[in-house]
């Protein structure tokens, strides 16, 4: 859908100081019909990248290339929906008035806008407040309102900058469900988030930006696999069993939970030892509560990488 080709950007924080390079020849693509997460620490260049995408600022070098399918009859942003991290709302207008304003900018037909407004306001559970002034909205309601304005014109590509910031657990769950639904409708979605568990849960692939350079682009599972392989670590299994206190095993438990006959023993066993461990459990006729492979999370991989 969109390609970033050798994009570089520097800023001068003070007239007497040298320019600081924010982006250093980055290359990556936003793919069609995929949900892509955009990761990076504060100051890594994510917001600068999005500003260059929308032509708010110009790169020092490189170009952003748009696929022909995105080029509308009026401009190249016609088929894109964007919800920034820090949107501005007209506080004394109602939610309905603001959405109609945004829809009019994209020249959407009134009937279609009304139908989509009814759907999205109900889906995002904001229909009860749509006629209220925006100044009375909570942070979560503003996030819902902003999301509606980014999809009201039925875009092909939806770009969201920290869409779940400030949402409570119910709101986050709702937003994740909606993003997955849009993905099933063959929409292309590109969004940034600091909540890595959310990205791991719903994204097809990720783009990792580290100190102005692309550290990784690809499927989440590929990143997890490559990280494990680079560290040369073995697969690990968490094993939870019931056993008497006086029965000693070769392996030391990670922790115990409970007391007496209801005491659970937690072990972390490497791949090469899991067979021997299971044989001991069978030998002593111990009760197994759970044996499962330990899967690394994005937090375990990305945070050590970007900090």
70-91 residue pLDDT tens: 776 566 778 899 998 888 899 9
Which CATH number covers residue 193?
3.40.50.300
What range does the domain containing 275 cover?
234-306
Residues 197 and 238 in one domain: no
CA 237 – CA 105 distance, rounded (Å): 55
Residues 280 and 222 in one domain: no
Which CATH number covers residue 239?
3.30.70
In this prediction the pTM is 0.77
Residues 154 and 263 in one domain: no
Output the pLDDT for position 49.
93
Q: Output the DSSP codes for 31-56.
A: -TT-EEEEE--TTSSHHHHHHHHTTS
User: In order along the chain (307 residues), what is the average pLDDT of each group of 10 residues?
Assistant: 93 81 92 91 86 92 88 74 88 91 77 84 92 93 92 90 85 92 93 82 89 88 65 75 88 88 88 91 91 76 57
Output the pLDDT for position 304.
57
Choose the final residue of a domain: 175, 205, 228: 228
Residues 214 and 260 in one domain: no
Output the pLDDT for position 264.
92
Choose the final residue of a domain: 178, 194, 228: 228
CA 85 – CA 51 distance, rounded (Å): 12
Residues 220 and 297 in one domain: no
Output the pLDDT for position 57.
92
Output the pLDDT for position 307.
45
């Amino acid at each position: 859908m969109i390609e970033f080709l050798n994009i570089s950007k520097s800023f001068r924080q003070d007239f007497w100081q040298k320019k600081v390079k924010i982006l250093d020849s980055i290359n990556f693509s936003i793919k069609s019909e995929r949900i892509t997460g955009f990761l990076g620490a504060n100051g890594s260049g994510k917001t600068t990248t999005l500003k260059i995408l929308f032509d708010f600022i110009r790169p020092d070098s490189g170009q952003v290339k748009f696929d022909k399918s995105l080029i509308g009859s009026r401009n190249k942003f016609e088929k894109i929906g964007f919800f920034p991290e820090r949107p501005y709302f007209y506080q004394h207008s109602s939610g309905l008035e603001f959405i109609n304003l945004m829809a009019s900018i994209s020249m959407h037909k009134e009937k279609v806008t009304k139908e989509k407004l009814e759907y999205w306001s109900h889906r995002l559970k904001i229909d009860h407040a749509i006629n209220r002034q925006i100044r009375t909205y909570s942070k979560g309601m503003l996030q819902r309102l902003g999301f509606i304005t980014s999809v009201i014109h039925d875009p092909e590509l939806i770009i969201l900058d920290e869409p779940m910031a400030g949402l409570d657990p119910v709101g986050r769950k709702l937003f994740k469900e909606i993003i997955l639904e849009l993905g099933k409708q063959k929409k292309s979605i590109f969004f940034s988030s600091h909540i890595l568990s959310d990205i791991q849960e719903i994204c097809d692939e990720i783009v990792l930006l580290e100190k102005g350079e692309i550290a990784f682009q690809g499927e989440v599972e590929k990143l997890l696999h490559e990280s494990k392989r680079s560290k040369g670590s073995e697969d690990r299994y968490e094993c939870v069993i019931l056993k008497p206190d006086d029965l000693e095993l070769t392996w030391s438990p990670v922790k115990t939970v409970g007391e007496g006959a209801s005491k659970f023993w937690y072990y972390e066993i490497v791949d090469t030892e899991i067979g021997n461990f299971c044989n001991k459990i069978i030998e002593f006729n111990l009760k197994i509560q759970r044996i499962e492979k330990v899967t690394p999370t994005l937090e375990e991989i990305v945070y050590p990488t970007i900090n």
